[in-house]
Structure 1
């Protein structure tokens, strides 16, 4: 039941497993570094144009940063002053709206005005991940009971997708709100219509789906499982284009985004690592390592968000509370 007023809770297990199995990435130094959450972060997202970062701080609510001049634009409280438990954040493709979520409620915000648009609470099961369309017209909510809800705040229209058999781990939505990509513990990711609920493509893996991403231009879909399957698909035909090439027995992805020109996929991990991949062949072409969260033993950090600023520059947000800017060396 829904009452009016993007989670990654699997990261802890993923974090420990990656520590044991991931290949080592050399220490790297960013071009610039800013503190966006003093005591560390629970979640973050970077706008598709790289202009904004929205960060859920451990002790200070949700902060909206303008990255060009590192200016704090807004400070939001998801529910009330005090404990902040926002674990999922997603910025719309048009860089205008943000959806934030804890386990029991989600909120829609305007980046342009800084004001809240709406707040909704869910009684049935817990929220796992969220996504929002352009203009904030549609919100996608993945839940622990395997159901995915597509909700339109202005009209109140709601559609429940019941294709999954187990809990949802990751969701994404097309900018126009017509298509949803969802993945869960049932080893399957589905691309489906938010108008009819009908499945368009089925992407099957050999273990639980941990991460899904839709290209904003509608060209590609990325689905990754908890073992060695990380695949890029043609979103139009459903055919596999490439499988990311790595030798580790297990590689977990915490965020993924396609470049505007469609050449590259940028991914984050729960063990400080950022990777740049060639979309056509799945080969790794660049890598970076974010700063560790202060006080962690062993020294590590979860990369919550990655994004392209331009063709030669990327940005990351991590559990250390730091935003870090990196240069792409690959030509």
Structure 2
């Protein structure tokens, strides 16, 4: 069966079973192939200049624009990788395993250290990781809902039980004051970095499948495994959530990103397309098909630049660059 026929069958099934809107293909869209091997995990750097991804037991850091490989590290094939993260200056790579962390210096390609991390439960394992530089901070979410914060400059480790189940999303705000976490308990939280005490919390009926925070944490997007997809304004006088508006009975959201201006939301589905939303009212602008090499392609990570360029990374090892200003204006 040809690739085109497979795509047609998958699209038809989606339309029949879920009522999905037909995704458009942008003929002007630029894309780059990073690898021919499928990607298990992948993250886009803070400046969208680099990408780190895992294929089998090999983790690679590549330049997004040239696709040139900058670093490669062979991991123990018997150890399960639970997360990867690039520091915002692109100098550090963090790889999380079930109970240990590896940190590499990407300038020298040297392993800086290996660390063991535990939760409050003796059976807890690492579920989400994030690393930040200048000074170096490591955030580690655990399957029992515990958050570990490791401050290397001050030789401090803090721990708090923020969730009642697995932490699935983890991000530190731009001014390093608030940590956004979300988990399988359906909760999304903003917690102060010094005390790890919650400053904002919202609970959804089911486990969180995607979450994103805007600049200064002024907007949060969160979706669960049922049919709740909300834009929240944690510190606004108007705290009524904005629900995403679409025709289908439900949709599944795997990835999300908010534009720096707060005007747009991008979400990745469980299939080979993504959707652009008006973040001010939750209305769908349009859906776009990603470049794909297989019928199982899906978006692993999404990133907005200050110029409203959306970068997407797919499980097929393809990065794409979407000019949101052009797309939005062409649809008006």
Query: TM-score category by the smaller chain?
Result: 0.7 to 0.9
Report what 1:302 is aligned to: 298
Supply the distance in 2 between the matched residues of 1:107 and 1:250 (Cα, whole angstroms): 39
**Deviation of the 1:262 alpha carbon:** 2.3
For the structure 1 residues 330 and 222, does the alpha-carbon distance in structure 2 shift closer, same or farther, using more than 3 Å as the test? same
Report what 2:269 is aligned to: 269
Q: What secondary structure, in the 3-state scheme, does the structure 2 residue paired with 1:119 have?
A: strand
For the structure 1 residues 163 and 309, does the alpha-carbon distance in structure 2 shift closer, same or farther, using more than 3 Å as the test? closer
Supply the distance in 2 between the matched residues of 1:184 and 1:190 (Cα, whole angstroms): 9
Q: CA RMSD in A?
A: 2.8
Bigger-Rg structure (1/2): 2
CA contact (8 A) 2:31 2:291 kept: no
Q: Does 1:246 align with 2:241?
A: no
Q: What secondary structure, in the 3-state scheme, does the structure 1 residue paired with 2:217 have?
A: coil
Unpaired stretches in structure 1, ≥5 consecutive residues: 1-17
Supply the distance in 1 between the matched residues of 2:306 and 2:216 (Cα, whole angstroms): 16
CA contact (8 A) 2:259 2:308 kept: no
CA contact (8 A) 1:273 1:289 kept: yes
**Deviation of the 1:200 alpha carbon:** 0.3
Report what 1:14 is aligned to: none
Q: What secondary structure, in the 3-state scheme, does the structure 2 residue paired with 1:330 have?
A: helix
Show CA shifts across 1:8-27 (max 9, x none).
xxxxxxxxxx8953614335
Show CA shifts across 1:17-39 (max 9, x none).
x8953614335256333222322
Q: Does 1:103 align with 2:101?
A: no
Supply the distance in 2 between the matched residues of 1:309 and 1:131 (Cα, whole angstroms): 19
CA contact (8 A) 2:39 2:317 kept: yes
Supply the distance in 2 between the matched residues of 1:154 and 1:293 (Cα, whole angstroms): 44
Task: Give the number of equivalent residue pairs.
Answer: 308
CA contact (8 A) 2:24 2:287 kept: no
Supply the distance in 2 between the matched residues of 1:162 and 1:22 (Cα, whole angstroms): 40
TM-score (norm 1): 0.81
Q: What secondary structure, in the 3-state scheme, does the structure 1 residue paired with 2:40 have?
A: strand
Q: What secondary structure, in the 3-state scheme, does the structure 2 residue paired with 1:135 have?
A: coil
Higher mean Cα deviation, 237-246 or 151-160? 237-246
Report what 2:288 is aligned to: 288
Supply the distance in 2 between the matched residues of 1:313 and 1:174 (Cα, whole angstroms): 20
For the structure 1 residues 50 and 322, does the alpha-carbon distance in structure 2 shift closer, same or farther, using more than 3 Å as the test? same
Alignment of 1:56-135 (within 5 A): 56-58=54-56, 61-77=58-74, 79-80=75-76, 82=77, 85-122=80-117, 124=122, 125-135=124-134
Q: Does 1:322 align with 2:321?
A: no
CA contact (8 A) 1:107 1:119 kept: yes
Higher mean Cα deviation, 151-160 or 111-120? 111-120
> 2:23 pairs with 26, 40, 45, which one?
26
Q: Does 1:46 align with 2:44?
A: yes
CA contact (8 A) 2:300 2:315 kept: yes
**Deviation of the 1:182 alpha carbon:** 1.4
CA contact (8 A) 2:83 2:96 kept: yes
Unpaired stretches in structure 2, ≥5 consecutive residues: 1-13
Report what 1:9 is aligned to: none
Supply the distance in 2 between the matched residues of 1:233 and 1:67 (Cα, whole angstroms): 32
Supply the distance in 2 between the matched residues of 1:164 and 1:143 (Cα, whole angstroms): 9
CA contact (8 A) 1:291 1:300 kept: no
Q: What secondary structure, in the 3-state scheme, does the structure 1 residue paired with 2:41 have?
A: strand
Supply the distance in 2 between the matched residues of 1:113 and 1:278 (Cα, whole angstroms): 43
**Deviation of the 1:133 alpha carbon:** 2.9
Q: What secondary structure, in the 3-state scheme, does the structure 1 residue paired with 2:252 have?
A: coil
Report what 1:169 is aligned to: 168
Report what 2:7 is aligned to: none
For the structure 1 residues 205 and 234, does the alpha-carbon distance in structure 2 shift closer, same or farther, using more than 3 Å as the test? same
Show CA shifts across 1:50-95 (max 9, x none).
2111111235x11111123222111123x43x46743423334455
